[in-house]
Copies of this chain bind each other. A is one copy, B any other.
Amino acid sequence: MKDLNRLFYPRTIAVVGASDKMFKWGSYIFTNLLAAGFKGEVYPVTVSKDEIYGRRAYKSLTDIPGEVDLVFNTTPAKQAMEVLRSCVAKGVKNVIMITSGFSETGAEGRRLEDEMVAFVREHGINMVGPNTMGIVNTAVSLFATGSLVKPMRGGISIVAQSGNVGNQVMEWAEQQDIGIGKFVGSGNEAVLMCEDYLDYLCDDVDTSVVLMYIEGIDNGRKFMEIARRTTMKKPVIALKAGRTDIGAKAAASHTGAMAGTHATYASALRQSGVILTMAPTEMLTLSAAFDAMPLPKGNRVGVITLGGGWGVITADECEERGLTLPPLPAHVMEKLDSMLPPFWSRGNPIDLVGQPDRALFVESLRLMASSDAFDAIIILGVIGATKFVVRVNQMVKDLGYGDDVNIDDLGKAFRKLQFEFLDYIIELMEQYDKPIYPVALVTSPEDKMLYSKNGGKYKVPVYKTPEEAVFCLAHQYEYSMYLRQRS
């Protein structure tokens, strides 16, 4: 196993080719390391300036006083060997070769890359790339990618054979308050391969879930061995691209990945406990669920809805994904009989028939969450009330009435109530150690996917649709069964 600790947790960083010219890689990396507040020293290395942003610039790595844990190289491919030689002179053990123009560009690039690989191997340097979009470690505010995304800190780590895909996933994570741990764009994988990063993340205490975007795997046996070890400790969620002939052809032209048939890959990955997804957004949504909630111990789902149609849709999704909706236990039935109109559905899904009664919503959730008959709960319509109440009052105001109501205050008060309900869901998850999936349906642009409560063990993802919630639950159930079978 390679020691990648100082790659992800460097104390000092040098950026070769650092620049303050916008839209250059030397600026993306250097400027962003500073702006994002990396918690260590960052040295610019360039021959063209004496200082950048008031920091002394060095002509060469060897001019830098003290140790350098990590070097980013952003200079052109033909200078790469020279930079690597200065790394050796300086005793640098970790290099992120941002530079492109190697094997991905043809025979001459391939030759340059081979030369680099031989040198790097000889001197025991960990090299990321070449042709990589960079690296992130939120734990030490290390944000060094071409997209400048800055997701919040969390447990989801990403290894991507396409930096664009990985960065886009982080961008979506940032928008939705989904916390990211580490990211690495593995680029051409000339030296460090995706399985090396997986190996490292397996034992990384800051990582709770691993996401991988994979186009090709060179050493299948080694990868599967590491995957099998990792999936016993934490979920590994992968998107294997190049599933089809056309896709595989596109992958070959992109990263030079030699495909192997997808069926072979898929089956080997599944046997190693890797969870396969089809699209990057799916991958992120799923990882948020794994990161946030306890695993279900079985496939018995209780569903609560405010509208019958949504109950039917959720029931269909559950059954199609291998989950089941058992009947309501007698004590739940009795209690709901006493609270609901006589014609209520008397079954699972529980249809609250639009009763706008908060106590009923809370009580039915408590009943279901505490019952041994269910391994997981899906509850629909959790944050729609605010918008509705605002609308009802606005409509009256539009007619020139209702002057005594302050709609902003009302909206805030309702929103607060809804967050309290999300807090309550987190409490119930802790108390009964089972996942509860709230579905919003009605959302506002400012709504995030993940809510956490101060000091809470779990977080709560708020899904827009039931199919998203069921998708996550079904995969969590499968992973839970996988762990049971392996142990």
Q: Is A319 in contact with chain B by the CB < 8 A criterion?
A: yes
Q: Is A224 in contact with chain B by the CB < 8 A criterion?
A: no
Q: Is A118 in contact with chain B by the CB < 8 A criterion?
A: no
* Binary CB contact string for chain A from 379 to 417 against chain B (1 if under 8 A, 0 otherwise): 000000000100111011011110000000000000000
What residues of chain B lie closer than 8 Å to A349, measured between beta carbons?
A: 250
Q: Is A261 in contact with chain B by the CB < 8 A criterion?
A: no
**Chain copies in the assembly?**
2
What residues of chain B lie closer than 8 Å to A101, measured between beta carbons?
A: 343
CA distance A451 to B343 in the complex (A): 45
A79-87, A102-110, A230-238, A286-294 - the one binding chain B: A102-110
A65-73, A302-310, A367-375, A477-485 - the one binding chain B: A302-310
CA distance A346 to B105 in the complex (A): 12
A312 x B396 contact (CB < 8 A) = no
A241 x B312 contact (CB < 8 A) = yes
Q: With A315-B246, A388-B148 in contact, is A35–B398 under 8 Å at CB? A: yes
CA distance A319 to B242 in the complex (A): 10
A171 x B442 contact (CB < 8 A) = yes
A104 x B343 contact (CB < 8 A) = yes
* Binary CB contact string for chain A from 190 to 228 against chain B (1 if under 8 A, 0 otherwise): 000000000000000000000001010000000000000
Q: Which residue on B lies nearest to A324, using beta carbons?
A: B246
Q: Which of B243, B313, B324 contacts A316 (CB 8 A)?
A: B243
Q: Which of B105, B249, B306 contacts A342 (CB 8 A)?
A: B105
What residues of chain B lie closer than 8 Å to A160, measured between beta carbons?
A: 309
* Interface positions of A from 338 to 357, Cβ below 8 Å from B: 341-343, 345-347, 349, 351, 354, 356
CA distance A353 to B37 in the complex (A): 29
Q: Is A75 in contact with chain B by the CB < 8 A criterion?
A: no
Q: Is A168 in contact with chain B by the CB < 8 A criterion?
A: yes
B171 x A312 contact (CB < 8 A) = no
What residues of chain B lie closer than 8 Å to A250, measured between beta carbons?
A: 308, 311-312, 315, 325, 345, 347, 349
CB distance from A318 to the nearest CB of B (A): 7
CA distance A309 to B255 in the complex (A): 9
B164 x A310 contact (CB < 8 A) = yes
What residues of chain B lie closer than 8 Å to A341, measured between beta carbons?
A: 105
A309 x B164 contact (CB < 8 A) = yes
A254 x B162 contact (CB < 8 A) = no
A119-127, A276-284, A427-435 - the one binding chain B: A276-284
* Interface positions of A from 149 to 170, Cβ below 8 Å from B: 160-165, 168
CB distance from A124 to the nearest CB of B (A): 30
What residues of chain B lie closer than 8 Å to A441, measured between beta carbons?
A: 168, 171
What residues of chain B lie closer than 8 Å to A247, measured between beta carbons?
A: 312-313, 315-316, 319
CA distance A316 to B246 in the complex (A): 7
Report how many residues on chain A are interfacial, defined by Cβ distance under 8 Å. Answer: 91
B388 x A241 contact (CB < 8 A) = no
Q: Which of B161, B163, B244 contacts A319 (CB 8 A)?
A: B244
CB distance from A478 to the nearest CB of B (A): 18
Q: Is A465 in contact with chain B by the CB < 8 A criterion?
A: yes
What residues of chain B lie closer than 8 Å to A63, measured between beta carbons?
A: none
B162 x A308 contact (CB < 8 A) = yes
Q: With A23-B392, A310-B165 in contact, is A347–B31 under 8 Å at CB? A: no
A213 x B309 contact (CB < 8 A) = yes
Q: Which residue on B lies nearest to A393, using beta carbons?
A: B22
Q: Is A363 in contact with chain B by the CB < 8 A criterion?
A: no
Q: Is A332 in contact with chain B by the CB < 8 A criterion?
A: no
CA distance A307 to B169 in the complex (A): 13
CA distance A351 to B324 in the complex (A): 44
Q: Which of B27, B215, B313, B351 contacts A309 (CB 8 A)?
A: B215
A244 x B392 contact (CB < 8 A) = no
B244 x A105 contact (CB < 8 A) = no
A253 x B401 contact (CB < 8 A) = no
CA distance A351 to B162 in the complex (A): 13
Q: Which residue on B lies nearest to A255, using beta carbons?
A: B308
CB distance from A132 to the nearest CB of B (A): 13
Q: With A53-B401, A278-B467, A315-B247 in contact, is A309–B241 under 8 Å at CB? A: yes
The 10 A-B pairs with the shortest beta carbon distances in the complex, nearest first, are: A162-B309, A164-B307, A254-B308, A105-B343, A247-B316, A445-B445, A244-B319, A165-B309, A35-B395, A35-B398
Given contacts A168-B310, A241-B316, A247-B315, 15 further A-B contacts (CB under 8 A): A31-B396, A32-B395, A35-B395, A53-B399, A105-B343, A241-B312, A242-B316, A243-B316, A243-B320, A244-B315, A244-B316, A250-B312, A250-B325, A250-B349, A253-B347
